[in-house]
Amino acid sequence: MKFDFIIIGAGMAGLPCAIRAADRKKKVLLINKNKLIGGKLSRSTGQIAAAGTNIQKRQNIYDDPDLHLKEALEICKNTADHSLLRLAIDNLGDTVNWLEEIGVKFPENHPVITYQHDIYSTRRYLWPVGYGQEILDRILPIIFKHISFKNIKLLNETIIIDLVKNNNQIEGVTLLNKDNKKLSFYSNNIVLAAGGYTNNEELFAQYSPKSTLYTPKFNGSEGLVHKIAERYSFKVDGGHLYKGMIGGFLKKSFDNHSVSVSINTIPQDRQPWEIWVNIRGKRFMREDHPSADYRRHKVNEQEMQKFFIIFDEGILINAPSIAITNDGGLGGHINNDLQFRKYNSIIELAKDTKINYYNLSKTIDNYNYYVNKKNDIFGREHLPRKIIGPPFYCIESVAFALPSPAGIAVNEKLEVLNTNNIPVRNVYAAGEIIGNTRIMGEHYIAGMGVGPTLTFGKLLGETLE
Ligand SMILES: Cc1cc2nc3c(=O)[nH]c(=O)nc-3n(C[C@H](O)[C@H](O)[C@H](O)COP(=O)(O)OP(=O)(O)OC[C@H]3O[C@@H](n4cnc5c(N)ncnc54)[C@H](O)[C@@H]3O)c2cc1C
């Protein structure tokens, strides 16, 4: 059976693609591995940066895509794919306007400037009142309407297992449904939107061999399509640029998929009272450095992309909570979390965490000296009090992945490229499957994960014939 579109993956990229194609009366086959559609939308904060939106215009914020592109390139130090960044940025305004049209509400004070990532010069960063879930809530009725009008045929709990190739050309897909039945369908527009591979440690190690994967658990990011892409010699790259985000810790020791994003490491929100040390017991950076990118890169340079936040009873009592969520602050976490531990002495702390004791005690002595002198060797400005304890506390913090770094290469028409950089006829890709580093390079650009994912899916739905 032939469809105008076959879309693999009903998540943040696949759903707008399906809607916009169906709006044009195209016949769409939408395939989804998970039981429910939505992918990671319900987990994401839905943060988007967009220039020239109606929201900005209503608030008299002057902005345009050229300025956005210039700043994005500066933030990523020109390490992203220039033409894809341009494509995304030129269309992000339309995406936000479309979200408003379908009923997504943004907070009244948005867009904003936030310090989670290196900042733009103007207010172009926003997210829905109800985060990613709100986008999903507005999208679902439209999808179900199209299903009822038979513009979209949805197959949940079905995976793509192969491509159909005839006369050297890809013409369709082979699927496996929940009853273990193989099905083949055909289309000139096969859109790969099956998300990432953060649930596949082997693939992560293959694409980013120098990094350790820490991530929140998400079923549906197994990288199955990446494997198919490799079999057909599609180009998959970008993993070497990976840099994990900071502010995470493991809810369960030794479970790298139990990351909780809950430590506030943003000095503009909360100045650090603690010191950050690596496994060798040494400080490695200015903890209150104003650049998010600087802090992230320094943490990623540490062994296993891990560091330890050390403080004492005096800091616990006097400092504002280091937790992002207001759920009882530090004390609440100490009782509940293995990675947030309490010790009677530094020697006990070092022994348990495997931090080098000799270096750690010297680091603390040196830090206390800098606090006295009000002059830190790393240039740290916020030096509120010494670490003298006991008890002493330690949070083991990791740099983690949200979107997958590597992905299937595409050109500015979102056509999939083979290993010789030649477009693969009939095959397109959008979303996390193209790899986060393609759009951001080696440096995180605010709002350029969710924004381009929605935008590229939507664009394919609007333009492919
Ligand atoms: C907790 C959390 C918070 C996040 N926060 C942010 C954020 O703030 N900013 C940001 O930029 N990003 C964030 N992300 C990442 C972001 O949500 C994803 O990059 C984005 O959702 C990817 O969209 P997608 O459509 O490409 O993939 P998904 O939304 O993952 O959708 C992929 C879909 O494809 C289906 N699928 C998978 N394999 C197959 C197969 N073989 N056959 C058929 N279907 C398949 C899956 O079932 C799934 O429904 C976050 C992720 C998590 C887990």
Residues 6 or more apart whose CB falls under 8 angstroms from that of 118 comprise: 75, 291, 292, 293, 443, 444, 445, 446
Residue 259 has pLDDT above 80, yes or no: yes
Say yes or no: 302 and 249 in one domain: yes
Say yes or no: 50 and 187 in one domain: yes
Residues 6 or more apart whose CB falls under 8 angstroms from that of 395 comprise: 249, 263, 308, 309, 322, 339, 340
Could you tell me if residue 232 is inside a domain? no
Q: Are 48 and 117 in contact (CB under 8 A)?
A: no
Say yes or no: 282 and 376 in one domain: yes
Say yes or no: 261 and 152 in one domain: no
pLDDT at residue 258, as a whole number: 87
- Kindly give the distance from the C-alpha atom of residue 225 to the centroid of ligand 1, in angstroms, as a whole number: 13
Look at residue 349 and give its three-state secondary structure.
helix
Share of the chain above pLDDT 90, in %: 88
CATH number at residue 39: 3.50.50.60
Q: Which range (47-56, 61-70, 234-243, 249-258) has the least confidence? A: 249-258
Residue 329 has pLDDT above 70, yes or no: no
Say yes or no: 451 and 376 in one domain: no
How many angstroms separate the CA atoms of 111 and 152, rounded?
34
Best of 48, 219, 402 for a ligand 1 pocket test (most atoms within 8 Å of beta carbon): 402
Ligand 1 atom with the shortest distance to the CA of 127: 8
* Ligand 1, pocket residues at CB < 6 Å: 8-14, 31-34, 39-41, 43-45, 47, 159-160, 193-195, 216, 218, 220-221, 224-225, 402-403, 431-433, 449-450, 453
Say yes or no: 93 and 48 in one domain: yes
Look at residue 463 and give its three-state secondary structure.
helix
Say yes or no: 358 and 293 in one domain: yes
Say yes or no: 326 and 426 in one domain: no
Say yes or no: 380 and 407 in one domain: no
Residue after which a domain boundary falls, among 400, 420, 446: 400
Ligand 1 atom with the shortest distance to the CA of 175: 42
Say yes or no: 269 and 378 in one domain: yes
Nearest alpha carbon, ligand 1 atom 10: 449
Say yes or no: 443 and 424 in one domain: yes
Please indicate, yes or no, whether the overall pTM of this predicted structure exceeds 0.85.
yes
DSSP 252: S
Range of the domain at 113: 5-196+403-463
Q: How many structural domains comprise the chain?
A: 2
CATH number at residue 348: 3.90.700.10
- Provide, for the chain, the percentages of residues in helix, strand and coil under a 3-state DSSP scheme, each rounded to the nearest 5: 35, 20, 45
Mean pLDDT of 119-139: 95
> For residue 334, what pLDDT band results from cuts at 50, 70 and 90?
very low
Could you tell me if residue 96 is inside a domain? yes
Say yes or no: 440 and 375 in one domain: no
Could you tell me if residue 226 is inside a domain? no
Q: In what order do the strands lie in the sheet with 152-155?
A: 152-155, 28-31, 5-8, 190-192, 423-429, 415-417
pLDDT at residue 292, as a whole number: 94
Nearest alpha carbon, ligand 1 atom 38: 194
Could you tell me if residue 372 is inside a domain? yes
Q: Are 310 and 387 in contact (CB under 8 A)?
A: yes
Nearest alpha carbon, ligand 1 atom 15: 403
Ligand 1 atom with the shortest distance to the CA of 447: 11
Structure token pair of residue 134: 């709100």
